[in-house]
Amino acid sequence: MDACSRLCSLVAAIDEGAPARWSTRRFLVEVGRAGAGVRLGPLWMLDAATGGRNVIRGRGFAPEYDDATRGQARHFAGIVAVAARVGPRAARWASIRIGGDRPDTADGHLTDAAVEFTRLLRSGALPRSEAADWLRERLCA
């Protein structure tokens, strides 16, 4: 199984195991913890600032999201974790201005997908139960 498929499976597993009381924000924060090593609590900023860690190594992302590294799952989950906490707009700004992920690159496209994913879930337009399928259809090769 490639990294993109493992990311989708991880999101599905988080949804299935999440207590009913979890907010969408908590769900998204957990995606970042499990997929990018962005801790819960106040130290999340340190993890986000240092890029998290490659919990899911490998490839398998569609060409527009593939930068030929083995860290795209981390990138996506890390942006989701940041967007859940500071909002999608601020997360995108930080990815571009601080992270150097130009919008016309694979990382920039992946940032935009993570921001869209976060917005759709937070607005209710994408039910959590459909999150893994959305990722599979959108991100995976």
Residue 1 has pLDDT above 90, yes or no: no
Mean pLDDT of 17-36: 95
Q: What is the pLDDT of residue 75?
A: 96
Domain with 79 in it: 3-139
Would you say 44 and 85 are in contact if contact means Cβ atoms under 8 Å apart?
yes
C-alpha 66/C-alpha 45 separation (Å) is 25
C-alpha atoms less than 13 angstroms from C-alpha of 27 in its C-beta half-sphere: 26
Percent with pLDDT over 70 in the chain: 100
DSSP 8-state assignment for residue 38:
-
Whole-angstrom CA distances from 58 to 6, 32, 39 are 9, 17, 21
Residue 98 has pLDDT above 90, yes or no: no
DSSP-assigned beta bridge partners for residue 140? 61
Under DSSP, is residue 55 helix (H, G, I), strand (E, B) or coil?
A: coil
C-alpha 56/C-alpha 45 separation (Å) is 20
Percent with pLDDT over 90 in the chain: 89
Q: What is the pLDDT of residue 123?
A: 97
Domain count, the chain: 1
Q: Cα angle vertex 121, ends 94, 2, to 5°?
A: 75
Q: Is the pTM of this model over 0.75?
A: yes
Per-residue three-class SS string for 59-102 = CCECHHHCCCCCEHHHHHHHHHHHHHHHCHHHHHHHHHHCCCCC
Q: What is the pLDDT of residue 39?
A: 95
